[in-house]
Structure 1
Amino acid sequence: MLYFFIWAACTMFLSLWLTQEGGLNSTKTGIIFSAISIAAMCFQPFFGVISDKLGLKKNLLWLFIGLLVFIGPFFVYLFPALLKTNIILAAVIGGAYLGAIFNGGVGAIEAYIERISHLNGFEYGRVRVFGNIGAAASTFVTGHLFNTNPDLVFWIGTGMALLLAVVFSFAKTGKAEPQAVHTEKAEALPKGSTIALFKNRKFWMLMLYVLGVGCIYDVYDQQFAVYFTHFFSTPEKGTQVFGNLVTFQIFLEAIVMILAPFIINKIGAKNALLYAGFIMSLRMVGSSLADGAVAISLVKLMHAIEVPILLVAIFKYISANFDMRLSATIYLIGFQFSKQVGAIFLSTIAGNMYDTVGFKSAYLLLGSIALIFTLISIFTLSGSKLLLVKNVSAQKAS
């Protein structure tokens, strides 16, 4: 919960902070996001392999917490100075830091949550809902502070990181089911199992969906907050409404997250991924057609009925089609890593499009591309439906 509080405080308004406080245009903002994606791309395979090797050990999570403590000094002193002197240096340093703790780190943390949930007999969605609550509380608080004192937002992040360190030091993973623990210990990963994934057709088809739909959607959402404020009389008014709207949206996400496991168990992981793809495409196209504050706000709320389904469905899809011992690696490489690869190029291209042809035309193009890849995924994603998590060897899946 505390990690997602910090994550929401620093990422939800990042594009606004870069344009309003950093003085960047959409193209330069896209460069920063591309740099973050490059760094995340470098970190995620490493985080995935290490996470699978560590299992339930907390070493990697302690690394993230240690880095999060410096979020306040970074945004208040270091990053603004870099943005004003050298955009490339700012992109390199800012990308490395933010890519590690957010774009790269969030995947490792979600994979850890999923592993804990699996071993203790909980649905991932029920545990992840506390992350939504933390993010909702964060946007409610920081949304009001952003217009008055944005520096305070990041100092709150540092304070929450220190609190997270205290709480995490007392946290216990709980007692896993004996059979699950035995399986984790007895079935060590065979040598070359990670490399074997790249010979697996299902793995590449999953990456195709992620690149063509998930990556496009993430790039679209990077500067959506800037576009949103254009529908209001002043940027400050738009920022305030955006903060309140995101808070409401995340509470809706929490409700959908609770229901997500039941929905996905009913319709299957593949259909859930296709549903999420159609909603993402519709939201992007809808953003290009919105003609007022009410319309764009309704379009924003569509995020609440898509992202919980996507997050839970991706883990269930992995459980149904791959070896669970490689779950963190598959999630971080096949889902998170592949999104960052595409975002490296698309973030700057999209940012330039916003400055040249405008947000509406850019969003219409992005939405159309995502829709095409969603339709292709009807035929390329595997349709096996699995209600109970089972281990499937990587060789057999291929």
Structure 2
Amino acid sequence: MQNSAEAPKKQESKHFWGFPFTHFTYFFMWQIIFGYLTLWMEQVGHMNGAEAGIVFSAMSGLSLLFQPVFGIWSDKLVFKKNLLFMISIAAMLIGPYFQWVFLPLMHINSLLVALITGVFLCFIFNGGVSVIEQYVQRASLANRFEYGHSRMGGSLAGMCASFLGGQLFIWQPNAIFWACSISATILTGLLLFSDKIDMDNAAAAGDTSNKLDMKQIGQIFKIKNFWYLSIFYIGASAIYDVFDQQFIIFFKTFFNTAAQGTQAYGRL
């Protein structure tokens, strides 16, 4: 017989579904950019391989600045969305930037536009990815859902973006960037109205707002395994990024036209 003094357990609200869609919208943009930007810069932006390489080199190099700064900033903000909104609003400008700013700048100085593009995209992607991932990971602890279930939204986004991006590129190359802007607008809406945190259980994510200091950061560099992991990432991640960026250029050489190669790449 149930003890009348015992109150029934309250069903915890997980506020789950907004987060896989957050992952989806962000990584949809990620796959569009890393899958088709090199092709766009070659065919539409009329950049040579060296100039295109500067864009991605700037993105990778600036990660050394953005990622540590964003990581510390995220730890200070915890569940506040200030930095997330900065990233999503910047992403909304991807379409206007490549439609109306990139090509005019190319007529002025190709090196300048490569550096500006690298900084712009690094802020959104190479730096921003850790902010998105960190926020959802904390939310999974507070809301009691499996982080991997939300992250699957990012994997589905990669599939959809590769297929849709190929169709959009053939139809109108600049459309891939406007697709990013639309996705970023949806992401901003999700952050505003959908991504809720169960603040009653926020302590489960840990309080990092006052725990990180420069002395603690300095201690990391004394850990031997940290350097092993860094060397691994420098090799594996760099090679993967180059493959991701250049594969479509190689792949389309097996077809009679670039359009055939792009369409097959999207389906692949």
TM-score by length of 1: 0.57
Q: Does 1:196 align with 2:224?
A: no
Q: Does 1:18 align with 2:50?
A: no
| Cα distance between partner residues in 2 of 1:243 and 1:10 | 13
Query: CA 1:152 to 1:183, structure 2 compared with 1: closer, same or farther past 3 Å?
Result: closer
Higher relative contact order (CA 8 A, sep 6+): 2
Measured after TM superposition, the shift of residue 182 of structure 1 is 6.0
- Structure with higher Rg: it is 2
Amino acid of the structure 2 residue aligned with 1:78: V
Structure 2 matches for 1:230-249, cutoff 5 A? 230-245=253-268
| Cα distance between partner residues in 2 of 1:226 and 1:62 | 34
Measured after TM superposition, the shift of residue 33 of structure 1 is 1.1
Measured after TM superposition, the shift of residue 97 of structure 1 is 0.5
Q: Does 1:152 align with 2:175?
A: yes
Measured after TM superposition, the shift of residue 186 of structure 1 is 8.9
Measured after TM superposition, the shift of residue 129 of structure 1 is 0.5
Structure 2 matches for 1:78-93, cutoff 5 A? 78-93=101-116
| Cα distance between partner residues in 2 of 1:18 and 1:149 | 14
Q: Which residue of 1 aligns with 2:73?
A: 50
Amino acid of the structure 1 residue aligned with 2:156: I
Amino acid of the structure 2 residue aligned with 1:3: Y
| Cα distance between partner residues in 2 of 1:214 and 1:32 | 17
Match of 2:206 among 178, 181, 184: 184
What whole-Å deviation, never above 9, does each CA across 1:85-137 have from its counterpart, x for those lacking one? Answer: 31211122111101101121112212222222234443332210012223322
Structure 2 matches for 1:40-189, cutoff 5 A? 40-175=63-198, 178=201, 181=203, 184-185=206-207, 188-189=210-211
Range moving further from structure 2, 226-235 or 37-46: 37-46
Query: CA 1:10 to 1:199, structure 2 compared with 1: closer, same or farther past 3 Å?
Result: same
Measured after TM superposition, the shift of residue 190 of structure 1 is 5.4
Structure 2 matches for 1:229-308, cutoff 5 A? 229-245=252-268
What whole-Å deviation, never above 9, does each CA across 1:242-273 have from its counterpart, x for those lacking one? Answer: 1111xxxxxxxxxxxxxxxxxxxxxxxxxxxx
Amino acid of the structure 2 residue aligned with 1:60: L
Range moving further from structure 2, 135-144 or 10-19: 135-144
Describe the SS at the equivalent of 2:254.
Answer: coil
What whole-Å deviation, never above 9, does each CA across 1:296-325 have from its counterpart, x for those lacking one? Answer: xxxxxxxxxxxxxxxxxxxxxxxxxxxxxx
Question: In the alignment, is the contact (CA less than 8 A) between 1:120 and 1:177 conserved in 2?
Answer: no
Runs of at least 5 residues in structure 1 that lack an aligned partner in the other structure: 246-398
Query: CA 1:160 to 1:149, structure 2 compared with 1: closer, same or farther past 3 Å?
Result: same
TM-score by length of 2: 0.83
Measured after TM superposition, the shift of residue 181 of structure 1 is 0.6
Q: Which residue of 2 aligns with 1:210?
A: 233
Amino acid of the structure 2 residue aligned with 1:230: T
Question: In the alignment, is the contact (CA less than 8 A) between 2:169 and 2:176 conserved in 1?
Answer: yes
Q: Does 1:34 align with 2:57?
A: yes
| Cα distance between partner residues in 1 of 2:204 and 2:169 | 49
Query: CA 1:194 to 1:232, structure 2 compared with 1: closer, same or farther past 3 Å?
Result: same
| Cα distance between partner residues in 2 of 1:107 and 1:190 | 17
Measured after TM superposition, the shift of residue 176 of structure 1 is 6.5
What whole-Å deviation, never above 9, does each CA across 1:322-376 have from its counterpart, x for those lacking one? Answer: xxxxxxxxxxxxxxxxxxxxxxxxxxxxxxxxxxxxxxxxxxxxxxxxxxxxxxx
Query: CA 1:62 to 1:236, structure 2 compared with 1: closer, same or farther past 3 Å?
Result: same
Q: How many residues align?
A: 244
Question: In the alignment, is the contact (CA less than 8 A) between 2:168 and 2:175 conserved in 1?
Answer: yes
Q: CA RMSD in A?
A: 2.2
What whole-Å deviation, never above 9, does each CA across 1:122-167 have from its counterpart, x for those lacking one? Answer: 3332210012223322222221110121122222222222222222
Question: In the alignment, is the contact (CA less than 8 A) between 1:36 and 1:91 conserved in 2?
Answer: no
| Cα distance between partner residues in 2 of 1:25 and 1:190 | 43
Measured after TM superposition, the shift of residue 211 of structure 1 is 1.2
